[in-house]
């Protein structure tokens, strides 16, 4: 089974360097983000994608809808893929990273999420129980860090060093 993991297209919050982890806050793609998603869709046009799973945040669904124009795959949202709940909604990302610098994986600030990695890994457990279908996941950079580190057998210390551009796709082959 192929697992394609993709970061969403660019948003105004990306440009402004702001945190957004609340699905109720309507943060959508910029014109550049739409073009990024369209380019990714074209590059992925001939891939076998049998289902698409997104986070609950609007930008991932918007990106997935653009890619799905070539696949017409069933689309669903899974809450375990949501971006890390920072406690810094609408505030600068640099402030969040400064606040959690001493222990990025386990530091909880302003009601933020304590064990994000465990939540994301529940998605991989859930996926393992589903029918074996080539799958596209559209999510967030923090989510992709957890997935890539886990599937590539990297330690926690490697996660902050992993970076994913908007609409970058990472491919994994999962054993049947």
**Confidence band, pLDDT 50/70/90 cuts, at residue 105:** low
Task: Give yes or no for a contact between 8 and 83, defined as CB atoms under 8 angstroms apart.
Answer: no
Q: Are 12 and 30 in contact (CB under 8 A)?
A: yes
Where do we find the tokens 């001939």? Answer: 46
**Residues facing residue 29 across a β-bridge:** 11
Which is more confident, 101 or 57?
A: 57
Q: Taking 90 as the threshold, does the pLDDT of residue 113 lie above it?
A: no
Separation between Cα atoms, residue 1 and residue 93, nearest integer Å: 35
Separation between Cα atoms, residue 86 and residue 111, nearest integer Å: 8
Instruction: Go through the domains of the chain in sequence order and give each one's CATH number.
Output: 2-11+29-85+114-173 (3.40.50.1240)
Question: At 77, phi and psi to the nearest 5?
Answer: -105, 145
Q: Are 63 and 29 in contact (CB under 8 A)?
A: yes
Q: What is the mean pLDDT of residues 40-55?
A: 97
* Tens-digit pLDDT profile for residues 12-45: 999 999 999 999 999 999 999 999 999 999 999 9
41 touches 62 (CB < 8 A): no
Helix (H, G, I), strand (E, B) or coil at 103: coil
Q: How confident is the model at residue 175 (pLDDT cuts 50, 70, 90)?
A: confident
Grouping H, G, I as helix, E, B as strand and the rest as coil, residue 29 is: strand
Two structure tokens written together for 130: 């589903």
Instruction: Spell out where the chain has E strands.
Output: 2-7, 51-54, 75-77, 135-139, 169-173
Give phi and psi for 142, each to the nearest 5. -60, -40
The Cα–Cα gap between 97 and 89 comes to 13
């Amino acid at each position: 089974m192929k697992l394609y993991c993709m970061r969403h297209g660019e948003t105004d919050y990306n440009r402004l360097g702001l945190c957004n982890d609340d699905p109720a806050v309507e943060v959508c793609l910029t014109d550049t983000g739409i073009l990024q998603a369209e380019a990714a869709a074209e590059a992925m046009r001939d891939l076998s994608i049998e289902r698409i799973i997104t986070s609950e945040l609007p930008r991932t669904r918007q990106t997935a809808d653009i890619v799905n124009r070539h696949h017409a795959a069933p689309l669903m949202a899974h809450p375990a893929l949501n971006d890390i709940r920072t406690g810094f909604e609408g505030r600068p990302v640099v402030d969040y990273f400064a606040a959690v610098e001493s222990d990025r994986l386990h530091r909880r600030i302003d009601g933020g999420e304590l064990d994000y990695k465990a939540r994301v890994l529940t998605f991989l457990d859930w996926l393992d129980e589903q029918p074996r279908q080539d799958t596209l996941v559209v999510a967030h950079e923090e989510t992709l860090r957890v997935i890539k580190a886990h599937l590539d057998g990297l330690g926690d210390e490697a996660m902050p060093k992993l970076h994913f551009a908007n609409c970058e796709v990472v491919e994994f082959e999962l054993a049947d």
